[in-house]
Amino acid sequence: INDSINPELRYPLLVKPADADHSFGISQTSVVKNKKELDAQLSYVIEKLGHPALVEEYIEGDEYSVSILGSDYNDLRVFPLSRAKFPIGPKNKWKILTESVKNKEDSLYSSAAKNLNPKLEALISEIAIDTYKIMKCRDYGRVELRIDREGNPYVLELNTNPTLGKTSPVVRAAKHTNLEHIDLLEEIIKLAINR
């Protein structure tokens, strides 16, 4: 709790558990606008939740999910991009996927990102593939990115074991390439066996 925060970080900041998944511990109060809110959120994450805290700049912009299939880095299959759907309303000032939202819905990403600039789509896909390769991902994974207001992409997360429920982002993205749920599971199993 007494660790110093990089002074180059600019508010608003996002404070979240550093080692949890499914947006555990993330709520609208996770985005902080000043030192007082920062200290309160650090105390919540570290002392109440018992996790180390990750502090990063909040990026205002659209969020995309890129699902990737494959282990041979020269032959990866990238499914159509999906765009995050954020809840609208007075309680949802910040565009973030909170724990309560993720626990209510499985299909937080729209089935496909429509009307996307082809250059931006290519850039997002390229960055996702590079992330997948750099982190030595195998079989399947999902990369989440945000594009800020100036069009700069930021990798938020690489999920090396994303959920494979019938309405999950990976399964929904695969369906856009005519790969049904059971066929996707078989492909992943084959990749693992061959590896």
Per-residue pLDDT of the chain (195 residues; tens, 9 = 90+): 889 999 999 999 999 999 887 788 899 999 999 999 999 999 999 999 999 999 999 999 989 999 999 998 888 999 999 888 777 777 778 988 877 766 565 556 555 667 788 999 999 999 999 999 999 999 999 999 999 989 899 999 999 999 898 888 899 999 999 999 999 999 999 999 998
Specify the pLDDT at position 112.
Answer: 64
> What DSSP state is assigned to residue 29?
G
- Return phi, psi of residue 32, to 5°: -115, 145
The pTM for the full model equals 0.86
Structure tokens, 10: 């600019």
Q: Is the dihedral of CA 163, 23, 53, 148 positive or negative?
A: positive
